Amino acid sequence: MSASRLTTGGSDIDRARPLSFTFDGRRVEGFAGDTIASALLASGQAVVGRSFKYHRPRGVWGSGVEDPNALVDVESAVGRVPNARATTVQAVEGIKVRSVNASPTAETDRNAVLDRFARFLPAAFYYKTFMWPDWHLFEPRIRAMAGLGIVDSDWKPRQVSDQVNHHCDVLVVGAGPAGLAAAASAAAAGHSVVLVDDRTHPGGSLRHRAGEVDGLDGKAWVETVVARLKSGGQLVLSDTTAFGLYDHNLVALNQRHSDGRPDTLWRVRPRRIVLATGAIERPVPFANNDLPGILSADAALSYLRRHGVLVGREIVVATNNDSAYEPASALAAAGASVTVVDCRREGGAQAGTGVRVLAGRMVAVARGRNAVQGVLLDDGTTLAADCVLVSGGWTPTVHLFSQAKGKLAWNDQLAAFIPGEAIEGIGVAGAVAGAVSLSEALASGVAAVDAFGSSSPAPRGSGAEATLGVVSLWPKPKAKGRVWIDYQSDVTAKDVELAARENFVSVEHLKRYTTLGMATDQGKTSNLNGLALLADITGRGIPEVGTTTYRPPFTPVPFASLVGSRRGSMHNPVRRLPLEANHRAAGGVFQEYGGWLRPAYYGGGEAHASIQEEARRARQSVALFDGSTLGKIEVIGPRAAEFVDFIYYNTMSTLKPGHCRYGFMLSENGVVFDDGVLVRLDEHRFIVSCSSSHVAAVHARLEEWRQDRFGRDAVYIHNATAQYATLTVSGPNARQVVEALDLGATLDDASLPHMGVAVGRFAGNEVRIARVSFTGDRSYEISIRADRAEVLWARMQQEGRAFDAVLLGLESLMILRAEKGYIVIGKDTDGTTMPHDLGVAGPRTKRASEFVGRRSLFTEAGNSTDRNQLVGLAVREGEAPLATGAYGVEKREGRPKSIGFVTSSYQSPTLGRPVALALIERGAARHGETIDIQHLGVVRQATIVAPCAFDPEGRRLHA
């Protein structure tokens, strides 16, 4: 191949701005406006990559997203992009470009030898061998051979990708003549328009094919229309690919930027969509049709007119339709010697000066090793050539239409599928809709908008070929040599025949068995040739064979675009305490608990020792704890008491105002969903306290039952969790500290007993004081407006100093509650735990009124006697704590059987020994029994005891 840059021409390049980069270490010259592919062609680089399987040499084939061959890893100032498509990536000064799947270079790839063994490695050969002794033995070598680009394992994310949500009246995909006509027409009718095109310059075929519109040269018309759209405030996005058409006609776009910014994801919600996505030229089937130097005819024309690159000196054009004649004539005019081999008996009509036409002939074989050197025709003629251009007809780019579940219809005249029955809200125009001539394309663009109810005259076009005159030129069975169908996946006609022979005759089976169409180009050039051959082999029509499902994305989309700013702390953000800064100032070490960032312990010391020390000191005098995450959901209304009775397992309506009661909420399947304290403030007003991590779920359940059974006038529910901070004072001296806070409430045990609630004031704000304890010691939970919590917290610490108050992190609180046998739902229970497993059996049998989950408590499983029940576990003196998650095991019928597991386990500094909670089969009746506990293969013994290990009489609650 002797492609070269002409001295003039090239609408996309700026010859005043030369640049250079390296390809496989070699220096390549180009101009601003070049793609990597056009610069490689201009520098005479024939081999730009190696195929996936056989490492065949491959050159540039297309000029856009359809190219199956020119994949490269690009290293630039902004990092590596593996598997970039050289035909769509702009050349930039100084970048390092490497061919993929080749070592050391594309030209001299040492794995090229594989191609010699191709006959033993047909489609799907791997299913027939490597079975013995074990696939895993062969796999590492095969994996190393597979894959294309190389991931840079030191790569760091740079800027986050922008994401834009956008609404418009009309979204037009494709800025060729049809798309431009549609956009202009929609804009003229007063619609807001978004026009997107995946190329850098709008215009589509008008940028490199001859044509006049409304008396203007094609390119000039494009510029006029685009300028008018932009000045009218419409959005024209170039370098932007509409890659997905999703439910409810949401269209996803990926926009590339030339300034090094990461791509932008657009989610566009148009009222109407016009798909003017064009068509893709098909390869022509002949032996060795994959050699470097064999290109799409349209691509060759594009390289000539856009980049001033002449793809060869001695050119053969193989075609079955009229569209190849303009490239042929233009290349001849640019100085190449051109022979058209037209399989149609009459040939085409428009051959330009100097173009030789051989009608009624076909190319049978291309010759050459690393580049094409000539062709052999079906009549035995040989022609020398350094370049072969192919045009096997045009395949409409129906991908987005198909993604929207649109049905395709076979069009005989075009020998291709086009969109069939219209889909609501989606119009099609131009080549994708089967329009061939320029005037047809323009008219169809306007018509697509007219269908939405606006009307304007179509621009008049002339100049482009009026017909395609395509005849079928499909791959044939039993052809000589290797006729390539899918270049990137290395699928030949013989592979398709093999698949059919083995009964893989469904088109989806063909695809999966041979990998046809499954490479990074997703079969844009290969699908139709493949299924036409399958149709031929199986004696079916092409429409009967049908197509595979087109799936998004149309072209590969950076993961980074899809993620946008949803990274690090922005991905599923944690919730933060109002007093976080105060805790940090006090040395709080934070961890995430159920979505909240909370102090695990305080002080800079070693974690275990700090936690033990907090737990020890808490029992001695007084402890302060920030329990603000505790759920606080208000339930108000005339039927509120009835409502809480229904919601809770325990009867709650008998609770007296000013008091609170501990209870369970069940799911309808009878499983304990949450536990907590219900406060009754007055006759019709309750506050549901629920576990920190369950607040949203509990609130949702309350709302669901309210709306289902109680109605909006009977009960009102308000989630006030975030509005209040809850600060707890706990310990033998808790009352003294609270008294010192001067809350204006009577705190003696007669006025405010355990499980009593009082209202006081602090610094002018109402506070709620609840005698609720999660430590087993006398405790006061004080709830205050979140924005006033800081002052109260400071005052608590100040008053606490006299009592050697300690700050409790969550970890030491866990020890205190475990000493008491108090459970944490989801930790000490699992998704099978029912309330009677936790020792609260009364309501199950005694309650008369209905409640959530009730019936499930009486299923066979609910009545069963072998349930796991909450117990404590004690170990022998001097032994270390059991591991949380250790399993109780029993030998049954000679095999170990699980009998439950350790749910919580800690060293108790107060008791000087470990404490543990567990769910053990029939555990409630087995106190005193010693069982085996297994952890990571090591078995220990533990004795089943009552869950409460500390102050079982509960004296300290009142002390």
Partner 1 sequence: MQLFPCPFCGPREESEFHYGGEAGNLRPDGRDVTAERWAGYLHMRDNPKGPTREIWVHLTCGEFFAMSRDSVNHKVSGSSVLGEAEHGA
Partner 2 sequence: MTRHYSALSLFKEGLAGQTGWDKAWRSPEPKPRYDAIIIGGGGHGLATAYYLAKNHGVTNVALLEKGWIGGGNTGRNTTVVRSNYFYPESAAIYGLAHSLYKTLSTDLNYNVMFSARGILTLAHSEAAMETAARSVNAIQVNGIDCELFSIEDVRRVVPIYNFSPDTRFPVYGGTWQPSGGTARHDAVAWGYARAASRLGVDIIQNCEITDFIIEDGRCRGVVTSRGAIRAERTGMAVAGHSSVLAAKAGFRLPVNSYALQACVSEPVKPIIDTVVISPDTGVYVSQSDKGELVIGGALDRIPSYGQRGNLPVLESVIAGMLDMFPVFGQLKMMRQWAGIVDVVPDSSPIIGESPLPGLFLNCGWGTGGFKAIPAGGTLLAHLLATGRHHDISRPFDLDRFARGRLVDEAAGSGIAH
* Helix H or strand E encompassing 290: none
Instruction: Name which position in 189, 562, 586, 681 contacts partner 2 (CB under 8 A).
Output: 562
Instruction: Name which position in 567, 576, 584, 958 contacts partner 2 (CB under 8 A).
Output: 567
Residue span 91-120 as binding mask against partner 2, x where in contact by CB under 8 A, dash where not: ----------------------------xx
Q: Using CB distances below 5 to 8 A depending on partner kind, what does residue 509 bind out of partner 1, partner 2, none?
A: partner 2
CA 776: distance to chain centroid? 47
Token representation of residue 689:
């306290």
Instruction: Name which position in 354, 553, 587, 638 contacts partner 2 (CB under 8 A).
Output: 553
Q: Using CB distances below 5 to 8 A depending on partner kind, what does residue 850 bind out of partner 1, partner 2, none?
A: partner 1
Residue span 258-297 as binding mask against partner 2, x where in contact by CB under 8 A, dash where not: ---------x------------------------------
CB nearer to partner 2: give 108 or 127.
127
Tally of residues, the chain: 959
According to DSSP, the residues that pair with 103 across neighbouring strands are none
Instruction: Name which position in 370, 403, 650, 779 contacts partner 2 (CB under 8 A).
Output: 403
Burial label, 553 (beta-carbon count in 10 A; 0-12, 13-18, 19+) = middle
Q: Using CB distances below 5 to 8 A depending on partner kind, what does residue 704 bind out of partner 2, partner 1, none?
A: partner 1
β-strand 895-908 against 887-892: which pairing, if any? antiparallel
Taking the complex as a whole, the smallest distance from the CB of residue 881 to partner 1 amounts, in Å, to 39
CA–CA separation, 338 and 143 (whole Å): 44
What residues numbered 194-213 form the site for partner 2, per CB under 8 A?
none
Does the N-terminal peptide bond of residue 104 adopt cis geometry, omega within 30 degrees of 0?
Answer: yes
Taking the complex as a whole, the smallest distance from the CB of residue 171 to partner 2 amounts, in Å, to 16
User: Residues 173-205, buried b or exposed e (16+ Cβ, 10 A)?
Assistant: bbbbbbbbbbbbbbbbbebbbbbbbbbebbbbb
CA 291: distance to chain centroid? 37
Instruction: Spell out the alpha helix ranges (H) of 769-841.
Output: 789-800, 810-819
59: nearest Cα among 80, 74, 73, 44: 44
76 binds partner 2 (CB under 8 A): no
898 binds partner 2 (CB under 8 A): yes
Q: Using CB distances below 5 to 8 A depending on partner kind, what does residue 148 bind out of partner 1, partner 2, none?
A: partner 2
Residue span 224-263 as binding mask against partner 2, x where in contact by CB under 8 A, dash where not: --------------------x-xx--x-x-----------
87: nearest Cα among 302, 252, 238, 258: 302
CB atoms within 10 A of CB 846: 8
Taking the complex as a whole, the smallest distance from the CB of residue 720 to partner 2 amounts, in Å, to 27
CA–CA separation, 205 and 501 (whole Å): 41
Q: Let me know: does 220 contact 226? Beta carbons within 8 Å.
A: no
809 binds partner 2 (CB under 8 A): no
One-letter amino acid for residue 437 of the chain: S
Instruction: Name which position in 883, 907, 922, 951 contacts partner 2 (CB under 8 A).
Output: 883
Q: Which stretch binds partner 2 (CB under 8 A): 182-190, 375-383, 500-508, 579-587?
A: 500-508
Phi, psi (degrees; rounded to nearest 5) at 924: -60, -30
Token representation of residue 186:
């929609």
Instruction: Name which position in 332, 415, 757, 886 contacts partner 2 (CB under 8 A).
Output: 886
CB nearer to partner 2: give 566 or 576.
566
CB nearer to partner 2: give 131 or 609.
131
CB nearer to partner 1: give 700 or 911.
700
Taking the complex as a whole, the smallest distance from the CB of residue 787 to partner 1 amounts, in Å, to 24
One-letter amino acid for residue 745 of the chain: A
Helix 177-188 vs helix 438-450: angle between axes, to the nearest 10 degrees? Answer: 40
Taking the complex as a whole, the smallest distance from the CB of residue 247 to partner 1 amounts, in Å, to 5
Taking the complex as a whole, the smallest distance from the CB of residue 255 to partner 1 amounts, in Å, to 18
Residue span 920-959 as binding mask against partner 2, x where in contact by CB under 8 A, dash where not: --------------xxxx----------------------
Residues with Cβ within 8 Å of 665's Cβ and at least 6 positions away in sequence, in order, are 647, 648, 649, 672, 673, 674, 675, 676, 690, 698, 701, 852
885 binds partner 2 (CB under 8 A): yes
One-letter amino acid for residue 356 of the chain: R
893 binds partner 2 (CB under 8 A): no
Binding region for partner 1 (CB under 8 A): 246-248, 250, 267, 269, 405, 668-669, 700, 703-704, 707-709, 850, 854-856, 858-860
CA–CA separation, 837 and 920 (whole Å): 10
